[in-house]
């Protein structure tokens, strides 16, 4: 192997290592943001004053809004796990179906699914939203047919 080839191989390995490090750093930042979001939702769901402030603009009564916050907490956790690779598409679909089988999951997605799709910043989040939407439709169709 020539010296130039060796340098090229070393450069490629270093570039791959840097790319992997950057990906892991982005994942860590994503998880830290989710932790902050989860803490905020916990505060809002457990503080009637804070829940009233946010419920006022939603048109929801505070208890209903608090339940939607809790559904948001589950949704955000599933999204974060999917984004960082802790859930594959199949596992996410199982979790999405479970969530959408609960009335609060369907209510949350009906009210906020379009907003989540609008705010999606990358392909992973759009894939997450598609799976959630697919399961929402499937479960809603099933519950409508059973009624």
Biggest distance spanned by C-alpha atoms of the chain: 74
Q: Mean pLDDT for the chain?
A: 86
Nearest-5° Cα angle at 129, 128 to 130 = 90
- pLDDT tens digits along 123-135: 999 999 999 999 9
Task: Give 147's pLDDT tier (boundaries 50, 70, 90).
Answer: low
- pLDDT tens digits along 34-79: 888 888 888 888 888 888 887 777 777 778 888 899 999 999 999 9
pLDDT given for residue 38 in this prediction = 83
- Measure the CA–CA gap between 89 and 21, rounded to whole angstroms: 24
pLDDT given for residue 107 in this prediction = 94
Whole-angstrom CA distances from 92 to 12, 54, 86, 130 are 34, 29, 9, 11
DSSP labels, 53-102: HHHHTTT--HHHHHHHHHHHHHHHHHHHHHHTTSS-HHHHHHHHHHHHTS
Is the pLDDT at 90 greater than 70, yes or no? yes
- Torsional sign, CA 91, 92, 97, 102: positive
- pLDDT tens digits along 100-130: 999 999 999 999 999 999 999 999 999 999 9
């Amino acid at each position: 192997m020539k010296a130039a080839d060796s340098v090229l191989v070393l450069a490629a390995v270093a570039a791959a290592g840097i790319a992997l490090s950057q990906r892991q750093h982005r994942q860590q930042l994503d998880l830290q943001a989710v932790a902050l979001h989860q803490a905020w939702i916990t505060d809002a769901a457990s503080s009637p004053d804070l829940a009233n402030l946010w419920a006022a603009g939603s048109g929801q009564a505070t208890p209903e809004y608090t339940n939607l916050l809790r559904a948001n907490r589950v949704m955000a956790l599933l999204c974060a796990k999917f984004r960082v690779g802790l859930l594959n598409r199949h596992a996410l679909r199982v979790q999405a179906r479970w969530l959408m089988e609960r009335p609060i999951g369907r209510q949350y997605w009906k009210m906020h699914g379009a907003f989540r799709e609008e705010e999606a910043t990358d392909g992973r989040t759009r894939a997450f939203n598609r799976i959630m939407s697919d399961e929402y439709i499937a479960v809603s169709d099933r519950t409508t047919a059973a009624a």
